[in-house]
Structure 1
């Protein structure tokens, strides 16, 4: 007797997911391997700093296998028509300022460990960056961190106060107008095809901006009509993975970030490091993780008050990260990681799959512009170490298997982070991405 197979319905059939979720412009690379230079390309340009020599930084990125850099292009400062033209041509970079012990505030943080002490013509430097990227075969993702943290590094509060004075309901419009002028300037300079995409703003959900549906999606569509040959989008720090259908229209690409804090979040909550103004800070657990010579909070002092308004990082994070003992921090994470391992791996998988599935439905390219664990102290090695790299590789392979066009190896894989010295791993992972079929 012949037995026929049971019919289980089309829902059991496996769809092919490795092809790209949407087609990128034909002049761009088949896959993007991204190194995240954020605002550091102009805030860490001090003598002997990681970006003092743009040609050397771009050459190293290309040598390691990257073909894309993602930056804050400071559109509001450079082309916002907000009366900041003099600052755009002569910006004094201070960093977070000088602490009572003569060291710089932010010395133990990532991104904020800027000693400052120099002036920069940022308009000229943007063109220099594009000229240098062209020589080394790199393309550039343009974003703005201005309503999140870029302005905090300036010596003067004027940049921050000026953009902060723009009414909330007008901020997306002013951003779009700024981008239109900046794109025009790059086009005139012969660099239009070097623009990989334009993000209205970085992490609109974690910035001092209205919800994207409240004017942002309209400005995305308007900017896209002005520049139909470019990918115009905005990024989310934490898109609604369980309800992607609630995102507004207007995205030219799904450039979203995939962080799985897991064990890191457990530590942060126990030491209460992300809050501000906690009366008994630092608590007993955080105190046990600090260096023996850590000053008291009072002895540590405070940044200029306007700088706390200009950034999403809290006073407790600055103190804690500046004085944490990295070895004690890492030891806690390693000891406690076990119960979080599968949750963190599955969370990375599921978030990538949600982003890629939504992008495929919208027929737009998908990009993971940041990931994978979260914000750690500068000299903590948990994310750079074997566990962090395992999670990063998990994310990269899952992204490739689900048609993601571009991705970072890790948010910390950039010239201003210690992970930049792990050249062998970066070359291996970039080779894996670039070898993946695009169709």
Structure 2
């Protein structure tokens, strides 16, 4: 038995079984969508055994005190029109074959009011909330207006961490005044600082108005000593964890082992942009017979790709794939990658836990385990993906990780949500671990 890597506030659960709701709690709230009814979403979450959700709380949109064309950005938040990536030729929309980007849009909502509704619902169902921001990574791309994207990207790179710090403090003050402070499990300055449009996180700055990421975390921690405050990495330096800065209040890192998925993506050149001759012959063999050409399909508005981290080639490829052909390739080629993927998940999880124990902070695996697969692909939801997830979960528990996600795809907006029995079994294992 291994104790937690570091102490957690006594009012929080001794273990967290996390469902990754990300920004989808406001981008997939269309009528009939997975988050149209927050009470239903929480009821389903608790029924599956989760006691924590991780969300993009949109602090820059709500509390950044920014303007666009002379209007406060907060005005946009009061009536944010959700579009997704926009309408595609025919009756569909761009991103409909992807995860997270499968946003049909067509509605508006008050993001600030909905945040309070979410926290109130979480309290009713006994769930704690991990607050993060995806705003310098992708959240603004789903709005119809580019105002949110343009306002936050007009802030000079060197000042973006200061903006996050100030925005979070105003949000925390707001949630505290509303009586919801004890529902906050963790505050992340930003999601995946290594894969977002942010400057070097660890570099020291002599300018108090332009602190580095770690300096912003330290300032936020000092102002909120009762809260766990940190940032997350998409790919922490597992072989050199000493390179991470001191001052994080928790080790919230992600564990992905792309392995066979990466081998396929490289063959297809599907994550690049502007590749001459795209799609190549290998990708054409995996497309649906009736797939249009990229020229026929077109692409989302340019600003939406500047606002996010995916490419038009990935959107086209995932939208037009024959999911069975995709999965068949992964299953047929998994064998040579199996041992490496299993070892990577295990060793990376241990590296995170041991770094957290060294620093005396709680550890959280907020995302994992294989990578970014098409919406209709089932490789990660299938027996191989579930087995890899179980290796990660059990390794995390054995090494004192406080909170762990079952899988990045185990949430109301993914097909894996339908596998109720597997989720119940694994969340029970997490919450029962000493």
Give the TM-score normalised by structure 2: 0.96
User: Could you say what secondary structure the match of 2:92 adopts?
Assistant: coil
User: Could you say what secondary structure the match of 1:26 adopts?
Assistant: coil
Aligned residues: 421
Runs of 4+ aligned structure 1 residues displaced above 6 Å come to none
Q: How does 1:412-423 map to 2 (within 5 A)?
A: 412-423=409-420
User: Could you say what secondary structure the match of 1:321 adopts?
Assistant: helix
Whether 1:97 aligns to 2:94 is no
Whether 1:183 aligns to 2:172 is yes
Structure 2 Cα separation of the partners of residues 302 and 253 of structure 1? 39
One of 277, 302, 306 as aligned partner of 2:303 = 306
1:154 matched residue in structure 2: 143
User: Could you say what secondary structure the match of 2:98 adopts?
Assistant: coil
Whether 1:43 aligns to 2:27 is yes
One of 109, 119, 122 as aligned partner of 2:98 = 109
User: Could you say what secondary structure the match of 1:212 adopts?
Assistant: coil
Structure 2 Cα separation of the partners of residues 294 and 163 of structure 1? 36
Structure 2 Cα separation of the partners of residues 26 and 316 of structure 1? 47
**1:113 shift after superposition:** 0.4
**Structure showing greater Rg:** 1
1:349 matched residue in structure 2: 346
Whether 1:221 aligns to 2:218 is yes
User: Could you say what secondary structure the match of 1:112 adopts?
Assistant: coil
One of 26, 29, 33 as aligned partner of 2:17 = 33
Whether 1:289 aligns to 2:286 is yes
One of 170, 178, 184 as aligned partner of 1:195 = 184
**1:102 shift after superposition:** 2.7
2:49 matched residue in structure 1: 65
Q: How does 1:32-431 map to 2 (within 5 A)?
A: 32-82=16-66, 83-214=72-203, 215-431=212-428
Could you list the runs of 5+ residues in structure 1 that have no partner in the other structure? Answer: 1-15
**1:250 shift after superposition:** 1.7
2:429 matched residue in structure 1: 432
Could you list the runs of 5+ residues in structure 2 that have no partner in the other structure? Answer: 67-71, 204-211
Give the TM-score normalised by structure 1: 0.95
Single out whichever of 95-104 and 321-330 deviates more from structure 2: 95-104
Instruction: Summarize deviations over 1:140-185 as a string: whole Å, max 9, x none.
Output: 0000000000000000000000000000000000001000000011
Instruction: Summarize deviations over 1:267-321 as a string: whole Å, max 9, x none.
Output: 0000000100001100000000000110000000111110010010001000000
RMSD: 0.6
**1:119 shift after superposition:** 0.5
User: Could you say what secondary structure the match of 2:233 adopts?
Assistant: coil
